[in-house]
Amino acid sequence: MISKIQQGFQTLLIQLKEMVMHTFDFKGKTTLQQSAYALVFQFLIIMLTLIFFLGQLVIIVPRNLFLSFLIYAILSFPSTLSLMTRRLRDSKTNPYTLLYLPLSYVLLIVVGFTMLVGEYMSMGIMLMLVIFFLSHFYLIVLLLLPSQNNTLA
């Protein structure tokens, strides 16, 4: 059991290193096996950052913890974007579908500013979570598509 955990952790570190080493390689391809651990790790960090942000709104999460996750997410954004682009190319999905993601964040901000006041705060937080998780769930489904060979079978 411990050896499997160590092997998984080593695979994660290798995939994160590969992700950083290929930060500006948007034209290559990356299979699901080459990127699975790194993508899961990045999505967990992004989700925890949002949850910590929402926790800060109700004063549950320390500010330093939120800021450290936010700084990591911002610094690793170019690497994550290139990894997702390569992964979508490998599955023969148009990489421009990633452009809907910033739109979901704009919608998130609009909902946050309009509904996080007064009596609508709990409904605003729930709506923000639904928008965030549904948009990321769609992206996860796209990233999990199988690799497509260039040859016809």
pLDDT at 152: 44
Q: Residue 123: pLDDT above 80?
A: no
What tokens were used for 15?
Answer: 């995939």
pLDDT at 151: 46
Q: What is the pLDDT of residues 15-50, one digit of tens each?
A: 889 888 888 888 888 888 888 888 889 888 888 887
d(CA 39, CA 43): 6
pLDDT at 101: 80
Q: Of 53-57, 96-100, 108-112, which has the strongest mean pLDDT? A: 96-100
Tokens 């960090």 locate to: 45
The reply to whether 59 falls in a domain is yes
Q: Are 88 and 143 in contact (CB under 8 A)?
A: yes
Q: What is the pLDDT of residues 109-121, one digit of tens each?
A: 777 677 666 666 7
Which structural domain range is residue 17 located in? 2-143
Could you give the number of structural domains in the chain?
1
The reply to whether 153 falls in a domain is no
**Model-wide pTM > 0.85:** no
The reply to whether 56 falls in a domain is yes
Residues 6+ apart with CB under 8 A from 54: 125, 128, 129
